[in-house]
A and B are shown apart, each in its own frame.
Chain A
Amino acid sequence: MDAEQPTSDRRHSAYTGLRLRIALIVIMVSLAPMVLVSATILYQFNIFSNEMVNAHLGELVLKHKQNIDYFLKQRLNDISHLFRSFDVEQLKDKDFLQQRLKVLQEEYRYVFVDLGLIDQNGRQVAYAGPFELGRADYSGADWFKKAIQRHGFISDVFMGLRGHPHFIVTVRRQWQGAEWLLRATIDFVAFNTLVENLAVGKTGTAFILNREGEFQTRPPAGEPKLTKQQYLNLFKKGEEALGARRPSDGLDLVEEGEAHFLEGYIDRYTQPSSIFSVEKLGEHGDKFIIVAAFLKNNQWLLIFQQEAADAFAKLQETQRMAGLISIIGALAIIGMAFIVSGRMVKRMARLDFEKEMMNQQVIETGKLASVGELAAGIAHEINNPVAIMVEEAGWIQDLMGEGLEQGDNLQEAKRGLQQIETQGRRCKEITHKLLSFARKTDSRVQTLQLNELVTEVASLLSQKSRYANVEVQLRLQPDLPPIQASATEMQQVLMNIFNNAVDAMEKSGGTITVVSRSEEQSIRLSIADTGPGIPASNLGRLFDPFFTTKPVGKGTGLGLSICYGIIHKMGGQIDAESQVGKGTTFHIVLPLTAAAAKH
């Protein structure tokens, strides 16, 4: 039992290793393509959706830029139309002007806050609107100086007299040898809505800057907070980015052949390339995307900014989902790999166990078969002395019938009794031999003297070999070290080989020579017969189960395969050499245990 413990441990670790290998292979084979495909798809998707988001933002900004430009141009046109439709004299009338403002407000939903007519000295001649700006003097105002030189003008946002952020649109006209300006104030709130429509996502905000870095709309609420200088840099960056496609500095808007008619916008730069984007890091290291476009003949800059994480929220969500699915999938694969390989290995272990059981059963069967054969031989051997005893008893009865006193009948009867005793002893010898053989039913591994076993088996088969005219010669090395083996199994091996040898020489008779000798780490036992030998074609199949040359019903073909199994289980070797016509020799090499070898 002790000897089997490490074997089962080793087998167990071999099964564990096998299970691990199977699981690893399954995992590798399943995961590698999955990882590759996922990585490729994610990478491509990343690039694609980056482009998509950028294009979308660009489109958005471009659309708003066009809207804002259109809005500004329209307001300028509205005022220009109004100024040309009426005489200055008419417009000087405050009530008339009030009426015109009302019409405009009804038309354009209160985009226009007020209207004012200003003479060339900057004095407001007429005013219509909510503020009391009656005869205001604008001669010192910055916008007036610019506006008086141009046909049309749109100002930056300023506070002005009313103390409110607003911007104005002016149109100049000559009337009766003097220059007149019609001024309209655009509602800051209405204008802001245009820009704030651009708010996208959680963090997307839009605003307008002028070239001085002043906000033309409400400043952005969230990050990133850029300095004025950084905003000014944006103008420079934009001009660099747009490069040659940037509109020229000249205010070359042409309407009715008049150059410099309007300062504030031109049509030609409303093309996609007029958009540029930069990335900035916020205070907390978050990335921000800034998309910008020039407005109002690149005097203003429409800036849209959004946190990158927000802009790419969809993408990141997809990535998270994909990652989660991948991890769950991978875990499932790993789990399955271990479960499946575990089951497989368990099954293999069970099959191995069953095979072992089967081998054990085959050995048992073989043992029974050889016991049967042995029993038949022994019965025959006993039968002869029994027959003699019966006949002697019958003879004595015959003599008694005649009368013992007659002649030398008494003498004869005595001789008969003696013969019966002799034959009885012979029976006893045979049964003792058999008993000593049968007593070794212990299949446990123990210390054995090989020579003893050989002698016993040889004597058991002596009768059989005598009938077959087979002479058994034992040349055993006397001081052979003991071996570790199971007695019954060794008996079985020896019986099988002896029986085969005797059977082979049954017709012709011959000699069996058994030689035992110790070698360095082993004991070699050779059993040679002088039988007909085994043809080379059969020699290779000699130890195969169910291989037999005996007629059906005579041999199972298991004997030598069982011997092979037993010897190999002990760590030994068995082989046969044979020459047709000369005989066959079986060699058995049994290993010596370390202790036995020292001894």
Chain B
Amino acid sequence: MEISITFSYNTVFDCEVDDIMSMLSELLRNLFKKRATVLYPEERDKVHVPEGYRGKLEFYREKCIGCTLCYQVCPSYTIEIVVDEKGKRPVFNLARCTYCGQCEDICPTKSIHLTKQFEVISLDKKDLVVK
């Protein structure tokens, strides 16, 4: 029993001089630093979203020419082509969307745009359909 106590004292004492000094300096440096995390969702406005983020998509009907290229590149069958009074047009079901942005890239008239909106949750399925 005695042996183990002295052993543990020794090991603690050996570490103390150098390690506690370096630990203290690290501690003081970090005490006045900015916090690395964001308290989401309370600090929602502090979340940094860069330009060009691939979030919830927007669709501009007036620009669309009905070429259906977006439908051809979509990997997850998000897009359904329907016919309205102006011709063919896509309808997006965001519940299926993987936010890959291939439809935005291929659209020849830039009628699809992925916004910076990243909270795309809804209790109603109808809210997730972009027309």
Is chain B a partner of chain A in the same complex? no
Where the two chains meet, the residues of B that have a C-beta atom closer than 8 Å to any C-beta of A are none
Where the two chains meet, the residues of A that have a C-beta atom closer than 8 Å to any C-beta of B are none
